[in-house]
């Protein structure tokens, strides 16, 4: 993987920074990297480099309509599962207006339905998919994770026992003690933290960007949210991220390169699972990656801060989400950026 060649003035600056860092390392003792670094053209961290030139490219990416309903007032929502509460087979919970209902089916599927679509069809809006379970049980864990278990498994209530996992499905959320499951009048099913942050919501709410039939990534810059959409239109995953408030520009891009390990051009922070899809006007890469780590492998932000605009261009993800996007995408996968 070839790295971007920095301008001459940046090389000079990098030499100066390297000298300072080298002096600090000699004083503090040896610090080893976790693995080889194969990219030098990625974002710096605002914690370390506050004078970064943020004049972004003004090229002409293909425009994408901003869905109008993204700016409407949020509909009413109710807590259907509080922290520590559960749903057994056959039980269901509904939205405040009674139009939507979440049910744990006997076959282990968690199904969100429109109870009155005007035609009496009671259409399915979202489902977790079938699972092999003797006694399915949906639990809103106190850690912030919504998880579906087989309560008859020897591993329950722990995650596994004798190598067999009791957990059948999960929202993958965590680090939000006291989070609850809410269901809105618009059919939106969401895991919400006590401070109001949305940690996960159901697949029926992904914006339509006109790419049916093609796997793609949607990055909502205003909402600091990412969706992974499969070719059949299903949502593989969706979660909060930390990017920049004004870049990259809204439009259609495509993944150009990937690196398992990367480092900022000023050599001060490292990132994992870098997936690049555009550059700024100076040629520095913008992409998706894990939360950067700086001095002594310290994260520059917490997982709880995901959803805030803390980056200088790239899109930061929780480590496991970054690894997932890295594995799921390929070169050429479309990336849609919404304002």
Residues 254 and 294 in one domain: yes
pLDDT at 205: 58
Give the Cα separation of 145 and 262 in Å (integer).
30
Residue 243 lies in a domain: yes
The string over 286-305, giving b where at least 16 C-beta atoms fall within 10 Å of a residue's C-beta and e elsewhere, is bbbbbbbbeeeeebbbebee
- Note whether residue 327 is domain-resident: yes
Cα Dmax for the chain: 74
Task: Supply the CATH number for residue 332's domain.
Answer: 2.40.440.10
Count the domains in the chain: 2
pLDDT of residue 255: 96
CATH number where 154 lies: 2.90.10.10
CA gap 316, 298 in Å, rounded: 15
Residue 205 lies in a domain: no
Residue 37 is predicted with a pLDDT of 34
pLDDT value at position 295? 86
pLDDT of residue 122: 57
In this structure, the answer to whether residues 143 and 229 fall within a common structural domain is no
Q: Which of 129, 162, 195 is the last residue of a domain?
A: 195
| Structural domain of 242 | 8-65+210-338
- Residue 200: name the closest of 141, 255, 137, 145 by CA: 145
Q: Which residues contact 305 (CB under 8 A, 6 or more apart)?
A: 242
**Residue 203 falls within a domain, yes or no?**
no
**Shared-domain flag, residues 56 and 94:** no
Indicate whether 201 belongs to any domain: no
pLDDT for res 248: 93
> In this predicted structure, what is the pLDDT of residue 75?
66
Below-70 pLDDT ranges, the chain: 1-75, 116-124, 157-164, 203-205
0.75 exceeded by the pTM? no
Residue 182 falls inside a structural domain: yes
The pLDDT of residue 20: 35
The answer to whether 125 and 113 have CB atoms below 8 angstroms apart is yes
User: For residue 202, is it within any domain?
Assistant: no
In a domain, 13, yes or no: yes
- Does residue 252 sit in the same domain as residue 182? no
58-87: per-residue pLDDT in tens? 333 434 434 434 344 556 878 999 999 999
């Amino acid at each position: 993987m070839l790295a971007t060649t920095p301008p001459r003035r940046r090389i000079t600056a990098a030499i100066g920074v390297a000298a300072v860092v080298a002096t600090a390392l000699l004083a503090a003792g040896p610090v080893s990297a976790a693995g080889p670094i194969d990219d030098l053209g990625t974002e710096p961290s605002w914690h370390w480099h506050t004078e970064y030139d943020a004049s972004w490219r003004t090229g002409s990416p293909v425009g994408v309509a901003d869905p109008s309903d993204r700016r409407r007032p949020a509909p009413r929502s109710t807590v259907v599962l509080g922290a520590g509460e559960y749903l057994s087979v056959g039980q269901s919970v509904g939205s405040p207006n009674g139009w939507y209902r979440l049910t744990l089916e006997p076959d282990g599927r968690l199904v969100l339905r429109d109870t009155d679509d005007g035609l009496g069809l009671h259409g399915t809006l979202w489902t977790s998919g079938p699972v092999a379970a003797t006694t399915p049980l949906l639990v809103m864990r106190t850690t912030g994770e919504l998880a579906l278990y087989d309560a008859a498994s020897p591993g329950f209530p722990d995650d596994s026992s004798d190598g067999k996992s009791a957990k059948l499905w999960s929202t993958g959320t965590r680090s939000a003690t006291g989070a609850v499951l809410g269901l809105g009048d618009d059919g939106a099913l969401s895991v919400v933290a006590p401070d109001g942050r949305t940690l996960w919501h159901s697949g029926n709410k992904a914006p339509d960007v006109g790419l049916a039939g093609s796997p793609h990534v949607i990055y909502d810059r205003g909402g600091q949210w990412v969706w992974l959409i499969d070719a059949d239109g299903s949502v593989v995953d969706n979660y909060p991220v930390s990017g920049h408030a004004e870049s990259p520009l809204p439009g259609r891009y495509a993944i150009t390169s990937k690196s398992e390990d990367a480092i900022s051009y000023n050599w001060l922070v490292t990132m994992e699972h870098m997936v690049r899809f555009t550059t700024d006007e100076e040629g520095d890469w913008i992409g998706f990656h894990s939360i950067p780590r700086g001095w002594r492998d310290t994260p520059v932000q917490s997982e709880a801060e995901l959803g805030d605009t803390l980056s200088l261009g790239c899109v930061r993800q929780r480590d496991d989400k970054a690894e997932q996007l890295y594995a799921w995408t390929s070169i050429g996968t479309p990336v849609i950026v919404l304002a």
